[in-house]
Amino acid sequence: MERKMEVPRDYMYGKICMITGASSGIGKITALELAKLGATVVIVCRDRNRGEAARSEIQSTSGNQSVELLLADLSEQRAIRQLAQDFLQRYQQLHVLVNNAGVALNKRIITEDGLEKTFAVNYLAYFLLTHLLLDVLKASTPARIVNVSSNSQAFGSIHFDDLQGEKHYSIARAYCQSKLAVVYFTYELPRRLDGTGVTVNCLHPGQVATNMNYSVTGLFGLLGRVVRPFALDPERGARTSIYLASSPEVEDVTGKYFVKCKQARSSRISYDEFVSQRLWKMSEELTKLNECMQ
């Protein structure tokens, strides 16, 4: 049973929240519900038309006009850097960052940075954007980072000898690896943020009925379509994201994995600190983090 979420009436007023991948699905619902709670909401979308439509719907449904659209293709690191710059030119605070954007791709696609796109969007974008916004998050404490993972992490491995799927690519292998990487990131980052007042948690939203179910082919896509009639609607799928972004109950909780608004255990291998530190180092190199932070 899911925990009933209760947020005090004025708890989110004056707080600034950014949600990536917010043009549809659980990202849009998360943005809508945070707007209903009175937060200033910045939605990040790739397509301007879909983004404007989402912003208009969120404003009209929530009655909150403090909803802004920022555009970025999160598969491109230069676009992520520009997104962070655009945000920082407009805002001096950020209280909640929800890394939600994700893809599942039938074939191996290489980004302009030379990276496999699933890994780039589902994980490296979270890693890079979070780091670019860390200073403003620290200046806004208490602040929260919410990373959307998946129970697919339990079937993943970090293929250090083939992170980009050059030797072998399958949609399931790439997707599960990226979602496991999000969990490693969620567990490693709090160790580096200890004492800052910034919390980091991740979640499995449940099996959610989204457009992704229709765009994926092969066995992975077939399984998605088979379970779709029994899947959660985006409103229910977004509940844990909203809970982690806004509930006073988890204001001081960090470095945890959540399912149905409750702490849960992720896969056994996800707690391996040696792997998380090795992945961190490789992520710094792949995002040229030290260069872009200068």
Helices 25-36 and 239-246 pack at an angle, to 10 degrees, of 40
Domains for the chain: give ranges and CATH numbers. Answer: 16-292 (3.40.50.720)
Q: What is the pLDDT of residue 11?
A: 87
Reply yes or no on whether the pLDDT at 226 is more than 50: no
Mean of all residue pLDDT scores within the chain: 92
Q: What is the pLDDT of residue 158?
A: 98
45-103 pLDDT tens trace = 999 999 999 999 999 999 999 999 999 999 999 999 999 999 999 999 999 999 999 99
User: What's the CA gap between 26 and 32, in Å, rounded?
Assistant: 10
Token pair 């990040």 in the structure block, residue: 44
132-171 pLDDT tens trace = 999 999 999 999 999 999 999 999 999 999 999 999 999 9
Q: Minimum mean pLDDT among 108-112, 151-155, 227-231, 282-286: which range?
A: 227-231
Q: Which residues are catalytic?
A: 175
Reply yes or no on whether the pLDDT at 294 is more than 60: no
The per-residue b/e assignment along 242-266, b for 16 or more CB within 10 angstroms, e otherwise, is bbbbbbeebeebbbbbbbbbeeeeb
264-280 pLDDT tens trace = 999 999 999 999 999 99
**pLDDT greater at residue 263 or residue 206:** 263
Question: 242 has which bridge partners?
Answer: none
Instruction: Please name the residues in contact with 31: beta carbons below 8 A apart, sequence gap of 6 or more.
Output: 17, 19, 22, 41, 43, 54, 58, 67
22: which DSSP letter?
Answer: -
178-224 pLDDT tens trace = 999 999 999 999 999 999 999 999 999 987 555 554 455 555 454 55
- Which H or E run contains 102? none
Average pLDDT over residues 11-21: 96
User: What's the CA gap between 199 and 146, in Å, rounded?
Assistant: 8
User: What's the CA gap between 239 and 155, in Å, rounded?
Assistant: 24
Q: What is the pLDDT of residue 208?
A: 56
| Burial class of residue 218, CB neighbours in 10 A (0-12, 13-18, 19+) | exposed
